[in-house]
Structure 1
Amino acid sequence: MENKLYERKEYTLNFNGKGSDFFGIVMVNWLLTILTLGLYYPWAKAKKLQYLYSSTSLNEDYFAFHGTGKEMFKGFIKAIGVFILLGIVIYIITDLFSLLFLGPLLFYVFLIALLPIAIHGSYRYRTSRSSWRGIRFGYRGDRKEFTFLFFKWIFFTIITLGIYGPWMAMNMRNYLLGNVRFGDVEFEYDGDGSEYFMLNLKGYFLTLFTLGIYLFWWQKDLFEYYVNNLSLKKGNEKIYFSSTATGGSFFGIIATNILILIFTLGLGYAWVATRTMKFIFANIEAEGDIDLNALVQTEENYKDATGEDLSDFLNLDTIM
């Protein structure tokens, strides 16, 4: 890693959300979602994201999420339509050939086909509706290119019986994050499949040999790898990120969160979520020589939340 930076600056990331405040939002969201038989979900998600973003700061200036329930509801309806159409197509094919066993197989094939579309759409929507000091984020990946790469990676993963999985994970993270923009600043990610494979292999066997104790250090290693390979670039200027988390601190946050959920019968979720966010940002350091006061607006608004809602239906965690 190059460290020859001039006028080195430090950047401070913080999360200042409170469990009590988030609890109120979560409870109202749950109640209204239940009462409306799920129709309120897009508004619930928008309120949740708006709170989490507005509680996160960079150099004491807060991020903002501009997505709305109305935008997400339109995407929600489109996503439902996609799954209804999927069901109809599967029914017609299985009925036409009188092969009912094809139904589940076709369902999973079509789901896999939707994955790159959902991931691409989610990234494009989520980044476009995010900002800091009024400077929007953006995603410049190409859907056709990403879809082709995704299926190539899936093919290699299948024919290697899953061994290629770590390479696929890093290739996807490199592509997605490498196409994210923050005004005129570019994200870069330098994860390597071989390193990631060895990291997980080591974590798996040491967790097995220590009867699960090493699990927390494995999580620390993964977090460190994700953070340390991320950087921002603007011309010759860069910002580097690094993790300060330890295995012991991971043990503390995970064990405490589990106890909170158990003893509150799940009602402590809001405190678990805010404690986790505080932990993440408290353990990320950033330094470099990019002047954040000189950022230029370059990214367009994009309000189609279909990909975002498809990713929810498919239970995908986006790489943000």
Structure 2
Amino acid sequence: MTDVSGFQTVNQGEPQQTGPLPFSFSGTGGEYFRIWIVNLLLSIVTLGIYSAWAKVRRLKYFYGNTTVANSSFEYHGNPVAILKGRFVAVILIIAYNLALEASGFVALLMIIAVAFAAPWLIWKSLQFKLYNSSYRGIRFGFRGSLKQAYLVYLLWPLLAGISLLLAAPFAHQRLKRFQHEESRFGSTHFSFDATVGAFYKRYLLFFAIWLTGFTAICVVFGGAVFTMIVSDGMTDARDTASMFAVFAFIFAMYVWMFLVFPIFATLIQNLIWNNTRLGLHHFQSEMKWTRVSFIAITNIIAIICTLGLFMPFAQIRYMKYRVESMTLHPEGSLDHFVAATQAQAGATGEGVADLLDFDLSL
């Protein structure tokens, strides 16, 4: 309930849930398909201009159907701000193509210029996205500085590239730490406890799993493929068998790629959210890679068989599983926390909204 000042208060006569609070997602493929198909058609008719409004409709639907503690999230983004980001992206693409036609050197300079501009663009986009997200009437926010953005989105990726990806787990940890620790809900900041070592363990585990599968496929199909390459004068029967082995090898590798990347996504999401806190409250993610792989493979098959029309249903399936794998573990009543946060956030001015008028939306 709310008092006369508009702030949320807690009715002492109502039972307060203080145990684990699972996230839920109530969106359906049929509902989202109608939004998706209208967005697609209008974006085509308007030569992409409507895509900014389409993004707002899509995010409002996903936010509004994501709930925790019987309350849903809200999205307040301004389509015009998103359209600005789209125009910037188009201008950069056109400029790059013109530079590429002029000379390779000019194109290289253009790539360098875009790389130096990217951290600022991403920084503005993060501010816009979080400020325009809310829960129970309280806005999220992002306090990270532009200097930190250049470290995270330029320096550390360069380090990862120079090190031949040996520093990729380090860069990944720094990026997620920046995104989470600099985010806030009202006046309460998030924290991030996952270490660089924990990221290296997940990356090494993923590499070991990938290498095991790759080796097994090579052992099973590699002999026949090698025979086809080095043999001369094969009979038609042997040639057919060898060609089938090549096809089976390529198909097995293709399937393995779709199985192994969900493993990585699962390892990383669980690591990130199991080490994220909001004040004293902490999150738990329990995604299973077997389920993620099943969803990914069946989604791809269905999208191919329906010539792309299954796309919105695929997005809903994955989003529903990802959201419902999350649980919030509050320290005490979440209602008390939200009420206190709202009271503190109420003193914060809305003047920053004028600075958050840009969203990079590719």
Q: Please state which band the TM-score falls in when normalised by the shorter chain.
A: 0.7 to 0.9
Q: In structure 2, what is the Cα distance between the partners aligned to 1:174 and 1:260?
A: 36
CA-to-aligned-CA distance 1:70-111 (integer Å, 9 cap, x gap): 3322443455456667778x58xx97xxxx220332232222
Out of 323, 329, 334, the position equivalent to 1:287 is 329
Bigger mean CA offset, 141-150 vs 255-264: 141-150
Structure-2 residue corresponding to 1:203: 209
* Larger radius of gyration between Structure 1 and Structure 2: 2
Tell me: CA distance 1:254–1:150, structure 2 relative to 1, closer, same or farther (3 Å): closer
SS of aligned partner of 1:9 = coil
Residues 1-320 of structure 1 aligned to structure 2 (within 5 Å): 9-80=19-90, 100-191=103-194, 192=196, 193-211=199-217, 212=256, 215=260, 216-233=262-279, 237-243=280-286, 245-289=287-331, 291-293=333-335, 294-295=337-338, 296-297=341-342, 298=345, 300=350, 302=353, 304-309=356-361, 312=362
| Cα pair 1:53 1:63 within 8 Å, conserved | yes
Q: Deviation at 1:126?
A: 0.4
Tell me: CA distance 1:288–1:210, structure 2 relative to 1, closer, same or farther (3 Å): farther
Amino acid at match of 2:307: L
| Cα pair 1:8 1:289 within 8 Å, conserved | yes
Higher-helix-fraction structure: 2
SS of aligned partner of 2:48 = coil
CA-to-aligned-CA distance 1:141-166 (integer Å, 9 cap, x gap): 00123214433313322321221112
Q: In structure 1, what is the Cα distance between the partners aligned to 2:96 and 2:124?
A: 18
Aligned residues: CA RMSD:
2.6
Q: In structure 1, what is the Cα distance between the partners aligned to 2:111 and 2:213?
A: 32
Q: Deviation at 1:195?
A: 2.7
Identity in percent: 25
Tell me: CA distance 1:82–1:217, structure 2 relative to 1, closer, same or farther (3 Å): closer
Amino acid at match of 1:25: I
How many residue pairs end up in the alignment? 293
Amino acid at match of 1:278: K
CA-to-aligned-CA distance 1:47-78 (integer Å, 9 cap, x gap): 11111111111112111000132332244345
Q: Deviation at 1:305?
A: 4.5
| Cα pair 1:75 1:305 within 8 Å, conserved | no
Tell me: CA distance 1:24–1:173, structure 2 relative to 1, closer, same or farther (3 Å): same
| Cα pair 1:20 1:271 within 8 Å, conserved | yes
Q: Deviation at 1:128?
A: 0.3
Q: In structure 2, what is the Cα distance between the partners aligned to 1:78 and 1:222?
A: 31
Bigger mean CA offset, 164-173 vs 291-300: 291-300
Tell me: CA distance 1:194–1:54, structure 2 relative to 1, closer, same or farther (3 Å): same
Q: Deviation at 1:17?
A: 0.5
SS of aligned partner of 2:318 = helix
| Cα pair 1:9 1:288 within 8 Å, conserved | yes
Q: In structure 1, what is the Cα distance between the partners aligned to 2:65 and 2:37?
A: 18
Structure-1 residue corresponding to 2:11: none
| Cα pair 2:157 2:171 within 8 Å, conserved | yes
Tell me: CA distance 1:208–1:86, structure 2 relative to 1, closer, same or farther (3 Å): closer
Amino acid at match of 1:306: F
Q: In structure 2, what is the Cα distance between the partners aligned to 1:87 and 1:260?
A: 35
Q: Deviation at 1:11?
A: 1.4
SS of aligned partner of 1:102 = helix
Q: In structure 2, what is the Cα distance between the partners aligned to 1:18 and 1:102?
A: 50
CA-to-aligned-CA distance 1:92-140 (integer Å, 9 cap, x gap): xx97xxxx22033223222222221122111100000000110100001
Q: In structure 1, what is the Cα distance between the partners aligned to 2:89 and 2:289?
A: 40
Amino acid at match of 1:269: M
Q: Deviation at 1:256?
A: 1.8
| Cα pair 1:10 1:286 within 8 Å, conserved | yes
Tell me: CA distance 1:238–1:175, structure 2 relative to 1, closer, same or farther (3 Å): same
TM-score of the superposed pair, with normalisation by structure 2: 0.73
TM-score of the superposed pair, with normalisation by structure 1: 0.81
Bigger mean CA offset, 13-22 vs 142-151: 142-151
Q: In structure 2, what is the Cα distance between the partners aligned to 1:252 and 1:155?
A: 35
